[in-house]
Every structure is written in C-alpha cells, then in structure tokens.
Amino acid sequence: MNRQAQSAVLFLLGASLLHAATTDLYLRYVKQGLRPLVLVSGAVLIAAAVATVWYERKRARSREKTHVHPEPRVAWLLVLPLLALILVAPPALGSYSATRTGTALQEPLAYPALPAADPLPLNLVDYAGRAVYDHGRTLTGRQVQLTGFLALDHDGTPYLVRMALNCCAADAQPVKVALTGEVPPVLQPDTWLRVTGTYTARRAEDPVNGGPIPFIEVTEAKPVPEPTDPYDESWNS
C-alpha cells in the first residue's frame, strides 16, 4: 500500500470519526460521554494524513531523478469500507442479541427519591433495579412509564428491553422487564414501546443465565420512534 493510499485511508477514517461525533451517529458505537474522545481521535488522524502527504512530497522531490515502480492500485479498495462507514449507519443491537444474552441487571448503589409525577417516566434499568433489589418499595402505588424495544422469549414471553452500555456497543448487554396485563395482542420484535403500568412483585428467571427479570403490570402501551440514543448509559455509572 503506497503512501498516498495510506494518507487517504487515514484522512477518510478521521473524517468519518468527525462526521460521527458531530452528528448522532457516534451513539451507535460508544456512549455519549465519549464524544470528545471521538472528536480528538478524528482530528489526530486527519493531522496524521496531512503530515504523511507533506512528508511524501518532500521525499519525492529529493528523488525526482530516480525511477520508481508504481504501487498496485488495488490498495485503494481499502477506502471502500470507510465510505460505507460514512454513508451507512449500522442498526442498534436489538431483540436478536437480547434473547441470546442473559440479563445484566445489577444491584443499584442507592435508590434516590422519585419525583411526584404521575405517571412517572422512569429509566427501564432503574425500574428493574428497584423492582428486584428494593422489592418495589419506592414503586408501590405509582404509575410509571418505561421505554424500550420488544423482544420475545422462546416461549413467547414479551420483554421490554434496553441494551446497557459500559463503554461501547461491543459490551452492550440487555436488561429486561417482562410484560403482563394489557399487553398488545400483536407483538413485533424490535418495536419501540412506551409502556405505562404499575409495579408487581412477580418475577421470572432469565432462561439464558438465570438472572432475575421483574414484571410490570401494563395498563397502556404505545409505539414510539426509536430514540436518538437507543442504548442505556445508567448501568455501571
């Protein structure tokens, strides 16, 4: 691979990182707090590309009289995956991954007081932690709203799921809340729903890893667009 191809790849990779970080595309790969690092990485790669071009031109001037065999042009094909990265946004992890990975629910460090809103919009991971480890003490008697995508277990049990991030999409793991009550009769996996309901002490074991899965007694469920940031970042935060 010649220097021109190397610098082009570096430049396009840096440009793709800057493009991702200045839009919401980067949220498909890493958590929101890593945006500054993505921006810095893109800028460094572009600077490296410019430096490579400058160095190569300087070296070329010093050997103008020397016959140099041309490098194979096939190296430029390495640019194609980078163009795909810029032009095509990958889908977020969904029901396929959720049903093949055990719930990653962890016990919260604390249970802050909840606002008095009715219904109360609540993070799905927060609801699951309070329902399982606090036995629903802060949820009893409250109407809550959860947002997540649908996944169906092998026996047809519907789950509302958010994929929780520790760092990036590569380490995303599902946290699941099972649905009971006024569940929609037709369920399409990966559909995003906003569910209104109440706490119930009912629980299930995740068939993948035996982890605890709390239920919510659904009183209303409405389809909603996929959020800009489909991952949940409250896990391990």
Residue 174 domain-assigned (yes or no) = yes
**Same domain for 191 and 102:** yes
CA dihedral for 58, 61, 67, 72, sign (positive or negative): positive
Q: Are residues 174 and 71 in the same domain?
A: no
Question: Which residue, 87, 112, 135, sits at the end of a domain?
Answer: 87
Q: Are residues 81 and 99 in the same domain?
A: no
Dump strand ranges (E) for 153-211. Answer: 158-164, 173-181, 192-205
Residues 68 and 103 grouped into a single domain: no
Range of the domain at 220: 95-232
81 vs 74, 89, 125, 137, 148, CA distance in Å? 14, 12, 35, 51, 31
* Residue type for position 69: H
Is there a single domain that holds both residue 150 and residue 59?
no
Domain boundary among 87, 112, 140: 87
Task: Tell how far CA 220 is from the center of its chain.
Answer: 26
**Boundary residue ending a domain (25, 55, 87):** 87
Q: Given the structure tokens 């893109």, which residue do they identify? A: 42
In a domain, 237, yes or no: no
Are 127 and 217 part of one and the same domain? Answer: yes
Burial class, 188, CB count within 10 angstroms (exposed 0-12 / middle 13-18 / buried 19+): exposed
Based on the fold, state whether residues 131 and 62 are members of the same structural domain. Answer: no
Do 144 and 65 reside in the same domain of the chain?
A: no
Same-domain pairing of 166 and 225: yes
In whole angstroms, what is the distance from residue 24 CA to residue 19 CA? Answer: 9
**Same structural domain, 147 and 31:** no
pLDDT value for 237: 45
The answer on 190 and 112 residing in a single domain is yes
What pTM was computed for the model?
Answer: 0.70
Which residue has 């140099």 as its token pair? 68
Do 105 and 219 lie in one domain? The reply is yes
Residues in the chain: 237
What is the structure's pLDDT at 192? 95
Pairing label, strands 158-164, 173-181? antiparallel
pLDDT at 89: 63
Q: How many structural domains comprise the chain? A: 2
Q: Distance (Å, rounded) from C-alpha 130 to C-alpha 143? A: 14
Provide the CATH number for the domain around residue 208.
Answer: 2.40.50
Tell me which residues of the chain have a pLDDT lower than 70: 1-5, 24-33, 60-91, 167-170, 233-237
